[in-house]
């Protein structure tokens, strides 16, 4: 398990002078937590692709942004599935140093945004309490809401990535209930665990398509053609 106050994400170490008194986090941090079941397939892919795409857009590893993952039945200390690593390699993303984690209360408490693979994962996170409801979405649900937000209503990146990210989550939460999924399955990313590489790649493409508008909204920078 990652020790409190560290984090497996984008950004540097947390210096004592920057800590808040509540959760021991820097005042200028924004933490994204990706959640799936075992934390060896979907959430590691989503975690590392988020990092990779933010760095691609900004040319730097977004200051203050921490991106991590965990699993509701997490394989604590387990490596990422080999096929998941292959998917990340397809996108040029880094799989090095990953180890699985079981989802704990502290992960939910510290997260500013929780993105889950499925509705069941979302329900499990919310059931843990910690006022998680307004900041927990399935990945595809969050994508749908983000696409409906006018980028001009968000703070400019000049005000800081953290400020923009917090505003984005508030705007998405306000839209929930107005923009429903066309089908129940539309918000799901299905589990590729044990599947052959082609299925992992299809899941990777699905995650990529869902992340693209989210990273664009976070950074204010569209993907390069």
Buried b (16+ CB within 10 A) or exposed e, 68-107: bbbbbebbeeeebbebbbebbeebebebeebbbbbbeeeb
Given a contact cutoff of 8 angstroms between Cβ atoms, the answer to whether 120 and 114 are in contact is no
CA–CA gap between residue 211 and residue 142 (Å, rounded):
9
Q: Across-strand partners of 35?
A: 70, 116
Tokens of 118: 């499925």
CA–CA gap between residue 99 and residue 224 (Å, rounded):
31
pTM of the prediction?
Answer: 0.88
Residue 45 CB-density burial (10 A; 0-12 exposed, 13-18 middle, 19+ buried): buried
CA–CA gap between residue 72 and residue 180 (Å, rounded):
25
Q: Determine the 3-state secondary structure of 102 from DSSP.
A: strand
Cβ neighbours for 173, distance < 8 A, ≥ 6 positions apart: 134, 135
Q: What is the pLDDT along the chain (225 residues), one digit of tens a residue?
A: 333 333 344 433 332 333 342 334 445 899 999 999 999 999 999 999 999 999 999 876 667 899 999 999 989 999 999 999 999 999 999 999 999 999 999 999 999 999 999 999 999 999 999 999 999 999 999 999 999 999 999 999 889 999 999 999 999 999 988 888 888 789 999 999 999 999 999 999 999 999 999 999 999 988 876
């Amino acid at each position: 398990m990652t020790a409190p106050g560290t984090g497996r994400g984008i950004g540097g170490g947390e210096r004592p002078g920057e800590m808040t008194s509540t959760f021991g986090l820097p005042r200028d941090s924004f933490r994204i937590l990706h959640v799936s079941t075992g934390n060896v397939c979907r959430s590691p892919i989503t975690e590392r692709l988020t990092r990779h795409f933010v760095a691609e857009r900004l040319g730097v590893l977004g200051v203050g942004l921490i991106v991590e993952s965990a699993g509701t039945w997490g394989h604590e200390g387990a490596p990422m599935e080999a096929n998941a690593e292959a998917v990340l390699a397809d996108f040029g993303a880094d799989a090095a140093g990953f180890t699985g984690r079981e989802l704990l209360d502290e992960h939910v408490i510290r997260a500013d945004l929780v993105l889950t693979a499925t509705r069941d994962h979302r329900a499990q996170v919310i059931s843990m309490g910690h006022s998680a409801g307004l900041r927990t979405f399935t990945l595809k649900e969050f994508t749908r809401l983000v696409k409906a937000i006018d980028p001009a209503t968000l703070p400019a990146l000049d005000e800081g990535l953290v400020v923009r990210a917090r505003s984005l989550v508030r705007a998405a939460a306000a839209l929930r209930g107005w923009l429903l999924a066309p089908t129940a399955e539309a918000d799901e990313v299905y589990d590729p665990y044990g599947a052959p590489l082609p299925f992992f790649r299809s899941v990777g493409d699905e995650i990529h398509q869902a992340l693209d508008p989210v990273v664009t909204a976070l950074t204010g920078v569209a993907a390069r053609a």
